[in-house]
A and B are shown apart, each in its own frame.
Chain A
Amino acid sequence: MRILLALLVALWAPAAGAQTLQDLLQQEPEAISDPSRRTVGEVLDRLVDSGLPEVPVFLERWQGKEVWQRKSDGLFFYAEEDGDGHVLYDISTGEEAGRTGPRELSELKPNAGVRGVIGSALIEFQLSDPDPARRQAALDAIAKDPAPEQAAPLRASLEGEEDPDLMARKERLLALLSARFDEDPAARVAAIEALGADISVEARAVLNQILASRPAVAATLPEDANVARLLVPGSADLPREAAYVMLVEAGLAPPRVTETEIRDALVASIADGMVGETPVATLGTDAARHAAYDAIAPARGLPPRVTEAEVDAAISTHVFWQGYAEPDATVTAAAQRALGTAETRVALWQGADLLLDAVSLASIYFLAAIGLAITFGVMGVINMAHGEFIMMGAYTGYVVQTLVPDYTLSLLLALPLAFAVTFAAGVAMERLVIHHLAHRPLETLLATFGISIALQQVAKNVFGTQARPLTSPAWLDGAWVINDVAGIAYIRIAIFVLALLFLGLLLFILKRTRLGLEVRAVTQNPGMAASLGINPDRIGMLTFGLGSGIAGIAGVAIGLYAKVTSEMGADYIVQSFMTVVVGGVGNVWGTLAGAGLIGGFQKGVEWLNPSNTLAAQTFMILFIIAFIQVRPRGIVAMKGRAAGA
């Protein structure tokens, strides 16, 4: 075609030198105004070969249905609506070229097929466009819908590409196109093998496309079939029923008469309460119906029922296999190997991604649970309202954000404020309730539950049941993407850092300060601590405040990536309890280990069964119950006689 066109162009050559785009188009205006997929190629080649600089823009607008034709003289314009009429712009210069009244223009509406062809032609321009963004867009278009004819322009555009990233991407796309469409099998195999080192989704998609296969059946295996694997009828791969359906579809066996067809046939044959020789009333079982059908079938020309034995016979005399669409076995074998290599690497990266997810989940659990663990360790008290403190922290963040519009500033304000609010709430609760229930942990558990439901309902009454957003600052948006497989959102990294910060802070408080010394003394032996002049009341109060304050911080952190609702605390409380139970009591490291174990386990189960996070949680709780069998006192347990008391 190209040669033919070259000829054509040569014919027009004398005039071509002085031609404008308009002139070019006017040579065959119908091809522009009413193109078909078949004819548009010629026009396009002519436009491209003209070398006019305005051609790419024209093609783009043509494709985008932005070119108009004046009815009076058939000239083409770009146009803009203006009142009833249009303002016209010259297609070469882009300058304003007069106005029209209503109904004097007709819009060019090339159909989808034509637009596709125009698009391919455009790609050639776009691949060498000076604007890198447009080159990028062209490459994306190729990646989305690869076709054999894109290889040539892509290869041509390599020369002159200056952007190294785009260069790499062009080379990769070329490799992908080559792997799929190259006519030389050796070149294809080479390209495919190179893809083994590539874990991008694109590369794997290409390999999978090459390996596309479908089930097939025949009396004997054809010589030229490229067999992926043989299928055994009756196995999980190919159930017996499905195998027979394949035979029927291939015209190799008669269709089975379904129970519905039998019923319909019988119903159609009812006469005077009888079907043939059988009374209708007796047809209440499958066996009776079959017998009645068999009796009437020959006379009425109905197909005979296919017996189970016949089905088995038909299946056993045929071969079932999964066959590649790609006929060349060397290509599919290479693709199979390349996919194997790629998948091993993908699995490794998935492992890394899973680890990141687990660490991020663990940091959330750690933040949510550490306050609980501290109060439990020091006071032997489970605070059921801990989840509501998390919620209070989150709502504090929300309120701050409504008052301070700058997200970064409001976040920086919200963290200490949430700590202060929940610290105060915790101290108030300790003074008013828990203090009076000293040494009665079960009662404390229930009293704090009372507070929990009251707080939850108050939040519902004040803020409504609707979820409130807590927007993170822009610099926390987005994600750190390592490759197509592994990546992590910045917000989760921030939470991880926050968790680390609090781990460090707590360790510092517990190991390096007077308060920490006293807290540890009370944890290990309250009676002895009291006799040494440590005021357990004060320690209890401060610990409780500290634990609650951290819950507030956790609330802000959780609110940043999940919605703030009055029930959000309840979503985290049981997990927090489990973290404490698994981790062991009164030890920061224990809680860390517990959070790590639970986060890791939950992510692991989700990975095994990704569709079902509910199942993951069920399994996690069962796992914890089992875990307690092995280590009843958690990972980091207090030992010695004190532990047995």
Chain B
Amino acid sequence: MTTAPSSTLRPRFVIAGNSSVLWALLVLALVTVGATVLAEAGMISTSFVKTLGKTLCLCLAAIAMDVVWGYCGILSLGHMAFFGIGGYAIGQWLMTARTTDIVTQNLAGQPLPPTPREIEQAVASQIFGVVGADDFPWIWAFSHSLALQLLMVVLVPGVLAGLFGWLAFRSRVTGVYLSILTQGMTLALSLWLFQNDSGLRGNNGLSGLQNIPGLDQWGQDRISLLFLWASAGALGAGYVLFAWLTSGRRGSAIRAIRDDEARLRFLGHGVEGLKLLVFTLTAVVTAIAGALYYPQAGIINPGEVAPLASIYLAVWVAIGGRGRLYGAALGAALVSLLSSWFTGGGAPDIPLGFYTIQWTDWWTVLLGLTFVAVTLWAPKGLGGLFDLVPSRKPRQGDWGPDDGAWRREEGQP
């Protein structure tokens, strides 16, 4: 035992054990406080504050994706389905409560005080008039209660992910097969939402979510800051949670699933259960991110849970750098902000003489090709840049998914 280093396998507190957590929390706090100060000073617009808040939610979804993919090796092409479910769940309450307020105000002018039935009918025809219905579908049974809908934000994706994961992992579906199945799951969900009889207003989706019932006197500028702080809080908490999850023996086991799950199984670990835990936990966190995102976006429709959205999530994580939480957050923030800058017409056109490159048209092409380039030449993504800092000693377990996942088995079904 003479040469054993003293730090070997010694349990340490998560934050102390991983300097990136402290740095990430610090940067997050700076961004939030800075944005608040600037917004109060009137130097940045309310819509920019909202964009920031939304970006933080996307970062939260991205680090969840990173845990399930970069650490656990499950390339889920369906995590944005959970994001959307979170949004729909909170949206149901927002829309019901908001419409009830408006209807109550309108009915106050009537000669008779309205009965509860009259209010409910008026609310229902307001909300479901667009799909030709005037009753609350069963799926809105809890929409009158904030507490119950908040429970649904966690419960619905939890149960769905649990069920799906149990079925998929039980039958030992892995690799690209599993990816395709998760894609099928989100496609099924979006197709179902697109129908009018799903009870969630078909392709109209839910709208007017930016108006928070009970906070009417606040104004959007204050509400946007409230959600910025809430999003930052959720991201911080999520970061610490996932840093904890990926540390110690549990983190070691999760990475072992990614690198060789059969071996881990022969070591006596319940691989299926562990995968299910990770898949479900990340799904729930993603749903919470969605529940914070859509009140800032104001509208949600079935297009948001289309398979493409989930693939973009994977793209962000890949560009940011898999297998490190800050990489995923960085990728999500950078790509989504750049994306809205380019597609919003913020980027100047490039005249080539014979043809003018308009970024609103060509940004997607650039993104696609960048993504190919990153996959080919910079598998560590943007996060890999941090390894170039000379004072930094090589990262623990830095054989990341890029080298560690070098397995021919992965390609087998």
Contacts and interface: CB of A to CB of B under 8 A. Distances in A.
A binds B: yes
Interface string A623-643: 011101100111000000001
Interface stretch (A315-323, A353-361, A609-617): A609-617
Nearest to A288: B115
Given A259-B118, A643-B412, 16 more contacts: A284-B112, A285-B115, A289-B115, A382-B180, A439-B410, A442-B75, A446-B75, A447-B371, A449-B311, A450-B368, A450-B371, A577-B180, A612-B195, A617-B191, A624-B181, A632-B413
Contacts of B136: none
Chain B: interface secondary structure? helix
B91 to A, nearest CB: 21
Nearest to B401: A442
Given A437-B376, A445-B75, A574-B184, A280 B405 contact: no
B383 to A, nearest CB: 16
Nearest to A526: B408
Contacts of B362: 457, 461
B187 A621 contact: yes
Given A286-B117, A614-B192, A614-B194, A628 B375 contact: no
Nearest to A612: B195
A455 B365 CA distance: 7
B7 interface: no
B164 interface: yes
Interface stretch (A17-25, A117-125, A262-270): A262-270
A584 B173 CA distance: 13
6 contacts: A263-B112, A281-B113, A286-B115, A433-B372, A577-B180, A632-B172
B183 A436 contact: no
Q: Interface size class for chain A?
A: 35 or more
A439 B376 contact: no
Given A433-B372, A443-B379, A581-B177, A453 B111 contact: no
Contact of A454 (B116, B187, B195, B364): B364
Contacts of A263: 112
B368 A625 contact: no
B277 to A, nearest CB: 20
Contact of A446 (B112, B175, B177, B314): B314
Interface string A412-453: 000000000000000000000100110111110111011111
Interface string B323-358: 000000000000000000000000000000000000
Contacts of B369: 450, 454
Contacts of A618: 188, 191-192
B406 interface: yes
B315 interface: yes
* For the complex of A and B, 9 pairs with smallest distance between CB atoms: A380-B411, A454-B368, A450-B371, A284-B113, A621-B188, A457-B364, A441-B411, A450-B372, A447-B375
B368 A629 contact: no
A122 B325 CA distance: 85
Most buried by B among A615, A625, A645: A625
B112 A439 contact: no
A155 interface: no
Interface in B6-42: none
Contacts of B408: 380, 439, 526
Contacts of B410: 380, 439-442
A643 B116 CA distance: 63
A281 B108 CA distance: 11
A578 interface: yes
B311 to A, nearest CB: 6
Contacts of B364: 453-454, 456-457
A447 B406 contact: no
B368 A452 contact: yes
Interface in B169-206: 170-173, 175-177, 179-181, 183-185, 187-188, 191-192, 194-195, 197
Interface of A: 259, 263, 266-267, 270, 280-286, 289, 376, 379-382, 384, 433, 436-437, 439-443, 445-447, 449-458, 460-461, 526, 570, 574, 577-578, 580-581, 584-585, 612, 614-615, 617-618, 621-622, 624-626, 628-629, 632-634, 643, 645
A289 B406 CA distance: 75
Given A379-B411, A380-B408, A284 B184 contact: no
Contacts of B179: 382, 442, 445
Contact of B184 (A447, A625, A633): A625
Contacts of A645: 409, 412
Interface of B: 75, 111-118, 164, 167-168, 170-173, 175-177, 179-181, 183-185, 187-188, 191-192, 194-195, 197, 307-308, 311, 314-315, 318, 361-362, 364-365, 367-372, 375-376, 379, 402, 405-413
A629 B230 CA distance: 40
B187 A628 contact: no
A615 B183 CA distance: 17
A642 to B, nearest CB: 9
Contacts of B413: 581, 584-585, 632-634
Nearest to A266: B112
B181 A581 contact: yes
Given A442-B405, A645-B412, A578 B184 contact: yes
B47 to A, nearest CB: 26
Chain A: interface secondary structure? helix
Contacts of A621: 184-185, 187-188, 191
A629 to B, nearest CB: 5
B171 to A, nearest CB: 4
Nearest to B192: A618
B407 A439 contact: yes
A451 B366 CA distance: 10
Most buried by A among B115, B116, B365, B375: B375
Given A457-B364, A457-B368, A617 B188 contact: yes
Contacts of A526: 408
Given A574-B187, A618-B188, A628-B181, A382 B372 contact: no
Given A446-B318, A578-B184, A280 B168 contact: no
Nearest to B73: A442
A450 to B, nearest CB: 4
Nearest to B121: A259
B111 A442 contact: no
Contacts of B318: 446
Given A446-B318, A449-B315, A450-B375, A578 B180 contact: yes
Contacts of B115: 284-286, 289
A434 to B, nearest CB: 10
A282 B115 CA distance: 10
A632 B376 contact: no
B31 to A, nearest CB: 28
A625 B168 contact: yes
B176 to A, nearest CB: 5
B200 to A, nearest CB: 13
Contacts of A283: 112-113
A622 B188 CA distance: 7
Nearest to A634: B413
B113 A577 contact: no
Contacts of B167: 625-626, 628-629
Contact of B361 (A289, A433, A461, A633): A461
A458 B365 contact: yes
A451 B368 contact: yes
A537 B135 CA distance: 62
A440 B404 CA distance: 10
Contacts of B184: 574, 577-578, 621, 624-625
Contacts of B379: 443
Nearest to B369: A454
B124 to A, nearest CB: 15
A451 B168 CA distance: 28
Contacts of B406: 439-440
A447 B372 contact: yes
